[in-house]
Amino acid sequence: MERFRVLEDDATADIAYVAYGKSLEEMYENAALGLFSLMTDIDSVESVQIDFIKVEAEDREALMLDFLNELIYRWDVDKVLFSDFSCKIKEVEDGLVMTAKCRGETFDEERHVMKVGVKAVTYFGMEVRERCGVWETKITPDV
């Protein structure tokens, strides 16, 4: 199954892609993978460090927004590029809690070619849904 697909015509100013998953968790993992694939050549990023991320949000879209924005924050401040993700999601009374294991490494100018600087993920066009056993949502980052 395709993990994500970059859309050609969807965001005049920026970039948009669709993330897929056989489970809800896998869709979030692939959304994160798609994000870092836009930014750099993901194959050049080694898994030498692990960041544990916990995100709580009121619904699936907000969870996506907060998760991806947390990753962007870590890139922007700690200069970490991630390439491997493992997400667990639990339903709680007022929403969802995600714990994510994110593997990657610190940005190295010699080895990592940066393609795009993503600065935030927006709600534009985002709608998490399940169709015939496949979860998907569109994601529109601001660059």
Interface residues with another protein (CB under 8 A)?
Answer: 6-16, 39, 58, 61-62, 65-66, 69, 73, 76-77, 79, 107, 109, 112-117, 119-120, 122-124, 140, 142-143
In the bound complex, what is the minimum distance in angstroms from residue 22's beta carbon to another protein?
Answer: 26
**CB 28, min distance to another protein, A:** 17
Burial of residue 137 (number of CB atoms within 10 Å: 0-12, 13-18, 19+): buried
* Residue closer to another protein (CB basis): 16 or 27: 16
Q: Measured from the CB of residue 111, what is the shortest distance to another protein in angstroms?
A: 12
Number of helices and strands (H, E) in the chain?
2, 8
Q: How far is Cα 61 from Cα 4, in angstroms, rounded to an integer?
A: 17
CA dist 125 and 102 (Å) reads: 25
Please give the structure tokens belonging to residue 21.
Answer: 């998953």
Question: Considering beta carbons, is residue 41 or 84 the nearer one to another protein?
Answer: 41
Q: Please give the angle made by the CA atoms of 112, 6 and 36, to the nearest 5 degrees.
A: 30
In whole angstroms, the minimum distance from the beta carbon of 72 to another protein comes to 8
* Nearest residue (CB) to another protein, 27 versus 68: 68
